[in-house]
Amino acid sequence: MPARTSPASGATNETDTAPTEHRNEIHVVGRLAAEPDTRVLPSGDTITVWRLIVERGDEPVTGRPSLDTLECVAWTARLRRTVSAWSPGDVVEVRGSLRRRFWRTGAGVNSRYEIEALQARRLRRGLG
């Protein structure tokens, strides 16, 4: 049976049998908040982490944040070298995937969402 499309939304109803392609793609442009930090994990893997400040494009609303702070991580040696050359205030572009990372502490299991960078580049040096 063919999928039916709702004229109001353009969405298909549940009779749509076409396979859905799952995607996890992130593309952000923001300002580097602080020096990137290279760490060695308990597993022995080396990563470089950094935080991006991304201004929201919407109209400001009282009581709501006007920016997002996003954690990013680079796993490959090449990308870690690229990121390590950045300075706070640099405007950078990051492409990758959203990941949830888990780790154990004395208080239990913690988790965090971060962008696992696959590509990253500096677009403009910061003013400082």
**79-121 tens-digit pLDDT:** 999 999 999 999 999 999 999 988 888 999 999 999 999 999 9
CA-based nearest residue to 70, from 98, 90, 45 = 98
**19-76 tens-digit pLDDT:** 789 999 999 999 999 999 999 988 899 999 999 999 987 777 777 778 999 999 999 9
* The amino acid at 119: Q
Token code pair at residue 85: 């050359």
Token code pair at residue 74: 């680079």
Specify the pTM. 0.76
Q: Sketch out the chain's domains with CATH numbers.
A: 26-124 (2.40.50.140)
Average pLDDT of the residues in 117-127: 95
